[in-house]
Structure 1
Amino acid sequence: MVPSPSLLAQFRDELRRRPPFDRMDEPALDFFTTHAQQVYVAPGEVLAEPANGPAQALFYIREGAVTGSGPADTAGGPDAISYEAGDLLAAGAALAGRAVTRTYRATQDTFALALPVAALRELASTSAEFAAYLNRRFAEDLARTGRALQEASWSRTVDEQSLETPLGELTRRAPVSCAPDTPLREVLGRMQAERIGSMLVTDAAGAPLGIFTRHDVLDRVALPGIALDSPVRAVMSSPVHALPAEATAHEAALTMSRHGIRHLPVVRDGRAVGLVSERDLFALQRLSLKGVSGRLRAAPDVAALAAGAAEIRRFARLLLGQGVSARHATGMISHLNDVLTARLVALEAARHGVDATRVCWLALGSEGRGEQTIATDQDNALVLAEDFPAQERAAVLAFAQAVNHGLDACGYPLCKGGVMAGQPAMCRTLPEWRTAFSGWMAHGGPEDLLAAAIHFDLRPIAGDDALAGALREHVGRAARGNARFLKQMALNALDRRVPLDWRGAIAPDARGGVDLKLQGAAIYTEAARIYALALGVAATGTRERLLAAGAALGVPAGESQSWAGGFDFVQSLRLRAQMDAGENTAAQPNHVRLDTLSDLERRTLKEALRIAKLLQQRLRLDYDR
């Protein structure tokens, strides 16, 4: 039944307010409204589900709300996805001629427009804007689903397995592999015979070149109609992400999460010796990296992200309560904060009409180093493309300010020093940023050193990563060639006093303790940054910088390991102090009273501070002369 002219006009007005319809021409809008049928679904009723078979329509939600739950989820459960007015459902299934993978159930009175598959395909073939949107949306849905399946969280030791377990100990057998020219027919036959879900593709020396999995069969072989006599190299995923056998389960977990992959080759001397899958990595508990990050990626607004931020803090306390190491905990916290920030950037970019492919949102400071703790504020910046129009500066600043205030609403306070992308000084084009860094390094005054120290730990979070890469390359090259500036940074770092008295005992402050950030972690961080700049170390994390600098300086491995160990211990005390402070805003989250530490903890803290002092002495010998 075709809607009345007045109802069609109402539909058109509604559609024009939401993408992709806001960019579609009048004939395309008219086609959608005249071919779509209005559907009503009562609370608790199903709009679409896998049992219905191949999807017959795309659904556009006009009013109401729908929850999409997977086979193992309950409606509204931890892994369910919420859809609201303006969302499109079942696009991928309708285009691919398959059933939906989730059950879509209304949670309130819901009105939707159902566009039949035939009309959907016709519209996609005639409207470039609609087709482009569907392709992007389909890719985003696939990526989100893939990441939700890949990510997991890990507890401390369970029997012989833990976050610290080397991957070489997790792999029980050599990987089943084949040469890149092996026919698909033979590959599929071996996978069936050996009951495996993936085939590693290696060269003659056993180095991994790619991987072909059961999930690739539909998208890369069946649907495109690839002949089974074709070589596997034509359909394998390449390049393949691999980790050395010495890497830990924690590193494998984050690698799988960040790249949205299910399998990870394990190599020794460049040769594949095993294959770790998501099933080999066990879940932490119900509150997991998978659950928290999945909800963050699907958050429809700032309120949902704020709820997700609270989950990040609960998750961090759970990690610490279960004995997860400080470096693993801070790595996971930073990863989740990245997910939250990237989602907020995407939401605000869409709201403000900012093209995210022409900008790059940067994390600075502790977030840039991947070392965020429970109590953290904002340090961020925005790099604009070189040809970014001057007339769009006001719009992009408004977008950045909205992200800053959104992060503040999520519990990441606004930076008192104004180091935020919404400030004009922190929102520049790539050439302007290069000029700024060159100016700081040329002048070297106190404010220049402070600005440089904050910005040198930059890392891309969202947008065009190439902009961040170009800026880092410029900064590294300029810093290595400026011995005077490096010396000024070192002398500035040496002004920070290690809280040890002349006997080598801890010298407590007026509150009977130590500021673990300013008098502990910062000493390691500043020394690591200076050596990283001087030696061309690409890493941004303090621990990785210290180990790489030690190797480049030729110091004994035990010495650089002690630097990393001292930093890790100070960080673990910081995290515990923040966990103890909880939501008490009057507490000093980075301060620890010595009388709250056990005898062993006091001795270990004293040793960590002694190592920090030795690191400072090395810095003095290298630069204060």
Structure 2
Amino acid sequence: MEPVKNAKHEPDLELIRHADTREQLREGRRACQSRIEYLYAEMPIAAWTALVNDMHDEVAARAAAVCEKELKEAGYGPPPVPYALVVFGSSGRRESTPWSDQDNGLIVSDEASGHKDKYFAAFGRRLSDLLEYAGYEKCKGKVMCSEPAWNQTLGQWRHRLAGWHRDLSWENVRNLMIASDLRWIAGDPSLAAAWKSCFAHGLNESPETATAILRNTVRHKATLNILGQVVTERFGEHAGEFDVKYGVYIPLVNSIRYMALQEGVHETSTLKRLEKLTLLDGGNLLFENCQRAFLTALTLRASATYTLRNGVYSSSGYLPQTELKQKPLLYKLRESLTTVRRTHRALQRRLRFAEKGRL
């Protein structure tokens, strides 16, 4: 379902597109975000989420341009070879909230250049710092272009992807799942296209990868007890609250991603993956239930508490107890978690069948 856009709803993204300095970029993001948060109560969740991610895309693309300008002024010159700025995670799926953190990387051309390593190492560090200045928390898992593991030439990426397929350890499978949501933002789009082609080839050439991804997919925390009651956190600062991210959102994302990869669906958006899966198997009510549950998950993610410290946005990912006391919301959450549980059980059966076939 493509979100319906309405001109009167649109925030002024031109403030971001025309930003020439990091200060202008930060102010443009703040102004747009303020407008977007105001629109939350007026728009369908899918359309609102699309608007949020339009803003994030514009900020990231403009940040890359500002970094090029700053490096040129610092004596590095222009980019010595083509590159692509790409995003992963919720950004890759265009499902970020207004306060999501960074999940990005660089794909650098294999063209020869004497100082491209130095240039793009500096570019990656500067871009990550600039995005933090613009309000984006740095990724705790270090999936950022400032990290050498996520800032590589196309040839290095090919070698790394092949290594992940050869060694299907838990961490490597996690990286493959993160990588499967890659989406181009700025620079040379052909580099991102070549990367995605390499990724798809690796999946086709490594049958064991699909089973490893499925094994990772079916692991998630319990969210309903045997009485069908919502399971909240028992201890710590979030005691009594519900973990939206890992309780409902990530299990749905992972399950739908796995089914999409199995069917050769190349979309990164969860909703678009569901659309394609529904077209492939229109009689399957599971996909309709997953779509309804996923829209609820997006709504709940937008309701989670967040903070703004030193200009950086951060979300706890938890639904506060006050929200859980609202019966309509609690009913939708319980319905969504029932769908998560049914989907999880179906994939568990598929995993048992796959592993039995290996014996």
State the TM-score, normalizing by the size of structure 2: 0.89
State the Cα deviation string for residues 132-184 of structure 1 (Å, max 9, x = none). xxxxxxxxxxxxxxxxxxxxxxxxxxxxxxxxxxxxxxxxxxxxxxxxxxxxx
Q: Look up the SS of the partner of 1:411 in the other structure.
A: coil
Counterpart of 1:300 (choices 2, 14, 20) is: 20
Give yes or no for contact 1:562–1:611 (8 Å, CA) kept in 2.
yes
* Residue in structure 1 matched with residue 261 of structure 2 by the alignment: 533
CA–CA distance in structure 2, aligned partners of residues 404 and 445 of structure 1: 28
The aligned counterpart of 2:356 is none
Aligned mates of 1:426, 1:587 — CA distance in 2: 22
Q: Distance in 1 between matches of 2:100 and 2:82?
A: 28
Quote the Cα distance in structure 2 between the aligned partners of 1:307 and 1:339: 13
User: Over residues 461-501 of structure 1, what are the superposed CA-to-partner deviations in whole Å (9 max), with x where a residue is unaligned?
Assistant: 10000110111111112213322111111111211124001
CA RMSD of aligned residues (A): 2.2
1:283 aligned to 2:8? yes
Judge conservation of contact 1:320–1:576 (CA < 8 Å) in 2: no
Give the 3-state SS of the residue equivalent to 2:184 in structure 1: strand
Q: Flag the structure with larger Rg.
A: 1
Secondary structure of the 2:242 match is strand
Q: Does 1:591 align with 2:318?
A: yes
Structure with a larger share of its residues in strand: 1
Given candidates 560, 573, 576, the residue that maps to 2:300 is 573
1:290-439 equivalences under 5 Å are: 291=12, 293-322=13-42, 324-352=43-71, 353-355=77-79, 358-389=82-113, 391-439=115-163
Alignment of 1:438-453 (within 5 A): 438-453=162-177
Does structure 1 residue 486 correspond to structure 2 residue 241? no
Measure the CA separation in 1 of the matches of 2:80 and 2:259.
34
Task: Call closer, same or farther: CA 1:611–1:557 in 2, change over 3 Å.
Answer: same
What is the 5 A alignment of 1:462-611? 462-510=186-234, 511-552=239-280, 554=281, 556-578=283-305, 581=306, 583=308, 589-597=316-324, 598-611=326-339
The runs of 5 or more residues in structure 2 that have no matched partner are 72-76, 354-359
> Which residue identity does 2:4 align to in structure 1?
A
Matched residue type, 2:247: Q
SS of the aligned residue for 1:382 comes to: strand
- Indicate conservation of the 8 Å contact 1:382/1:426, yes or no: yes
Structure 1 unaligned blocks of 5 or more: 1-245, 251-280
Letter in 2 for 1:298: H
Quickly say closer, same or farther: Cα 1:413–1:586, change in 2 above 3 A: closer
| Local SS of the residue matching 1:418 | coil
How far apart are 1:594 and its partner, in Å? 4.5
What is the correspondence of 1:38-49 to structure 2 with a 5 Å cutoff? none
Shift in Å, 1:247: 5.5
Deviation per residue, 1:88-133 (Å, 9 max, x gap): xxxxxxxxxxxxxxxxxxxxxxxxxxxxxxxxxxxxxxxxxxxxxx
User: Aligned-pair distance for 1:378?
Assistant: 0.7
Q: 1:326 to 1:455 in 2, by over 3 A?
A: same
| Kept in 2: contact 1:365–1:457 (CA 8 A) | yes
1:164-313 maps to which residues of 2 (within 5 A)? 249-250=4-5, 281-284=6-9, 288-289=10-11, 291=12, 293-313=13-33
Q: Contact 1:547 / 1:561 at 8 angstroms: preserved in 2?
A: no
SS of 1:381's partner is strand
Q: Comparing both structures, which one devotes a greater share of its residues to helix?
A: 2
Classify 1:326/1:589 alpha carbon distance in 2 versus 1 (closer, same or farther; 3 Å).
farther
Q: Equivalents in 2 of 1:558, 1:461: separation in Å? A: 34
Deviation track 1:322-372 (CA, whole Å, cap 9, x = no partner) reads 2x1222222111111111111110121133233387100011111111111
Q: When the two structures are aligned, how many residues end up with a matched partner? A: 341
Residue 432 of structure 1, CA deviation: 1.1
Contact 1:357–1:464 under 8 Å retained in 2: no
Length-normalised TM-score, structure 1? 0.52
Quickly say closer, same or farther: Cα 1:301–1:399, change in 2 above 3 A.
Answer: same
Displacement of 1:541 in angstroms is: 0.6
SS at match of 1:249: coil
**Comparing both chains, which one has the higher relative contact order based on Cα–Cα distances under 8 Å and sequence gaps of 6 or more?**
2
Change (3 A) 1:313 1:356: farther
Name the SS for the 2:262 alignment partner.
helix
Instruction: Name the stretch that deviates more: 394-403 or 381-390.
Output: 381-390
1:436–1:390 Cα change, 3 Å: farther
Q: What amino acid does structure 2 have at the position aligned with 1:565?
A: R
Identity %: 22
Residues 1:517 and 1:357: Cα distance change in structure 2 (over 3 Å)? same
Answer yes or no: is the 8 Å Cα contact 1:368–1:540 preserved in 2: yes
TM superposition shift of 1:410: 0.8
**SS at 1:348's partner residue?**
helix
Deviation string for 1:504-528 (max 9, x for gaps)?
A: 2212221113110111100011112
- Partners of 2:315 and 2:185 in 1: CA distance: 29
Judge conservation of contact 1:529–1:545 (CA < 8 Å) in 2.
Answer: yes
Q: Is the 8 A contact 1:508 1:514 kept in 2?
A: yes
- The SS at the match of 1:504 is coil
Match of 1:506, SS? Answer: coil
Question: Partner residue of 1:160?
Answer: none
> What is the identity, as a one-letter code, of the residue corresponding to 2:257?
R
Report if the CA contact (8 A) 1:354-1:399 is conserved.
no
Conserved? CA contact 1:498–1:520, under 8 Å: no
Letter in 1 for 2:254: E
Q: Deviations over 1:2-21 (max 9, x none)?
A: xxxxxxxxxxxxxxxxxxxx
